[in-house]
Amino acid sequence: MDSTTLLNNEKDIVIARLLQASPELKFSIGDGSTGTYTPEDMIKNVEALNEVGKQFIESQMEFLRALKSGEIYDLLVDAAPSTLG
């Protein structure tokens, strides 16, 4: 799979996730200096593949990879209060 196909697949995945988000949800990228974005705003950025859109795609794909690998689960388990004692 070439890099263009991969980016288009990732873009489709991220847009599908954004379509499921509540319209009241707000996103920010990096230090937040570019402001906040609604899911609709972010879909436009992702579709345009501008800098905000590319950063958002990368952050979402990193999250999904961590979820798949179990890293997110491990973090949640480590953060949960112990119920054994």
**pLDDT 10s digits, 32-83:** 888 999 999 999 999 999 999 999 999 999 999 999 999 988 888 888 887 6
Residue 84 above 80 pLDDT?
A: no
Strands 27-28 and 36-37: antiparallel
Q: How far is CA 63 from CA 45, 72, 82, 85, in A?
A: 19, 8, 25, 32
The pLDDT-based confidence of 85 (bands split at 50, 70, 90) is very low
Greater confidence, 3 or 26?
A: 26
Query: 34 or 13: which carries more pLDDT confidence?
Result: 13
CA distances from 2 to 5, 6, 31, 51, 68 (A): 5, 6, 31, 21, 22
The answer to whether the CB of 39 falls within 8 A of the CB of 26 is no
Model confidence, pTM: 0.83
Tokens in use for 62? Answer: 């990193």
